[in-house]
A = this chain, B = another copy of it.
Amino acid sequence: MNLKELATKLGLSPTTVSRALNGYPEVNEATRERVLAGARRHNYRPNARAIRLATGRALAVGHVIPLNTRTEIVNPVFSDFIAGAGEVYSRNGYDMILSIVADEAEETTYRDLMSRGTVDGVIVHAPKSNDPRIKVLRDLGLPFVVHGRSSDSELDYNWVDVNNRRAFQRATEFLLHLGHRRIALVNGLEHVDFAIRRRAGFTEALATLGLSPDPGLLSSDEMTETSGHRAAMRALDHPQPATAFLAASMLQGMGIRRAIEGRGLRMGRDVSVIIFDDDLSYLRNGEDVPIFTATRSSVRDAGRLSAEMLLDVIANPAAPPQHRLLEAELILGQSTGPAPSH
């Protein structure tokens, strides 16, 4: 059943039917009712392909998800981010198109999505500092929102981000207050922007006490359980072992816990741990009582906000860039305690 058929069936022109369905004012309320009823009765649904061609809009947005070709790792936060964003899209009649693309091919992907007209806008994930994609997208004129920020980018652009620097600064201060002085930072890959900011917050907090980070207690890697474990083993093997850890993700935190307990130590008593908790739906930080003390910010909310911003940008392409900075909250869990007095 297509528009034309429905129109003849109703004894109206396609024009009128189209207008009735799309809520244009110049059609009589009575006939609109008749059209709507007819459409329902015949189970009519407009063909999306035709709408897209006729309107010149894709009614779709793209998420280009980088795939680390070496490790083959897809960042686990994407599923929740996408769940949040997807909600917004479907509420607004947009499709979500996912391209999982090898790191190095991202630029081409954007070019392609744009020039073939498959999307009206994109979300940029995991920006690096001074990320080249920002310029590419700006030059292409493809609306985009960055999840995160790109330091040193001289251009202004739309972004949604968590205050990562502040979160790690506060977490570090909290550990310092507890008396910890040997704090290990188990960071994400530091070519990604948010990891840089987190490290900055960490360093800054140490600096207020005149401390500086011990390179032997710093690590930067994919945010997995095993990498957390590895980093923790190293920091515990240190001649002056860490008494506290600050980790970039829940999974790393779990790896750290495994290392601690593998040593016969007890997390929260012998060694303290704070994690950054993205509040993933399938990886909750405990039930009523949080397992880990954590700085928390829901990545699903970030997905929701990014999607809303993107749709807004698509609707008003000329508007000035928008920014949204989310604050992480510090959640007290069972993984922190006063530094052991030796």
| Residues of chain B within 8 A of A49, CB atoms compared | 49, 52-53, 56, 58, 117-118
Give, as a whole number of angstroms, the nearest-CB distance from A328 to chain B.
Answer: 20
Q: Answer yes or no: A40 CB below 8 A from chain B CBs.
A: no
Contact bitstring A78-107, B, C-beta under 8 A = 1, else 0: 111011001100100001111111000000
| Residues of chain B within 8 A of A97, CB atoms compared | 60, 95-98
Give, as a whole number of angstroms, the nearest-CB distance from A198 to chain B.
Answer: 18
Q: Answer yes or no: A134 CB below 8 A from chain B CBs.
A: no
Q: Answer yes or no: A225 CB below 8 A from chain B CBs.
A: yes
Give, as a whole number of angstroms, the nearest-CB distance from A94 to chain B.
Answer: 10
A321–B54 Cα gap in the complex (Å)?
37
Given A49-B49, A115-B43, A286-B226, the answer on whether A74 and B80 have CB atoms closer than 8 Å is yes
Contact bitstring A207-250, B, C-beta under 8 A = 1, else 0: 00000000000000011111000100000000000000000000
Give, as a whole number of angstroms, the nearest-CB distance from A209 to chain B.
Answer: 33
Which one of B45, B73, B101, B300 contacts A115 once the chains associate, using CB atoms below 8 Å? B45
Q: Answer yes or no: A341 CB below 8 A from chain B CBs.
A: no
Contact across chains for A116 and B48 when beta carbons are under 8 A apart: yes
Q: Which A residues between 252 and 284 are near B, CB-CB below 8 angstroms? A: 254, 257-258, 261, 280-284
Q: Which A residues between 105 and 122 are near B, CB-CB below 8 angstroms? A: 112, 115-118
Query: Number of A interface residues, CB 8 Å?
Result: 59
Q: Answer yes or no: A26 CB below 8 A from chain B CBs.
A: no
Q: Answer yes or no: A146 CB below 8 A from chain B CBs.
A: no
| Residues of chain B within 8 A of A95, CB atoms compared | 97, 99, 118
| Residues of chain B within 8 A of A317, CB atoms compared | none
Name the residue among A47, A95, A97, A261 with the largest chain B CB count within 10 angstroms: A95
Q: Answer yes or no: A287 CB below 8 A from chain B CBs.
A: yes
Contact bitstring A57-83, B, C-beta under 8 A = 1, else 0: 010100000010001111110111011
Q: Which A residues between 283 and 319 are near B, CB-CB below 8 angstroms? A: 283-284, 286-287, 291, 300
Contact across chains for A284 and B116 when beta carbons are under 8 A apart: no
Q: List 21 A-B contacts (CB under 8 A).
A: A48-B116, A49-B49, A49-B118, A52-B52, A67-B83, A72-B281, A74-B79, A75-B282, A76-B79, A76-B283, A79-B79, A82-B100, A83-B100, A95-B97, A96-B98, A96-B99, A224-B283, A224-B284, A225-B283, A226-B286, A251-B282
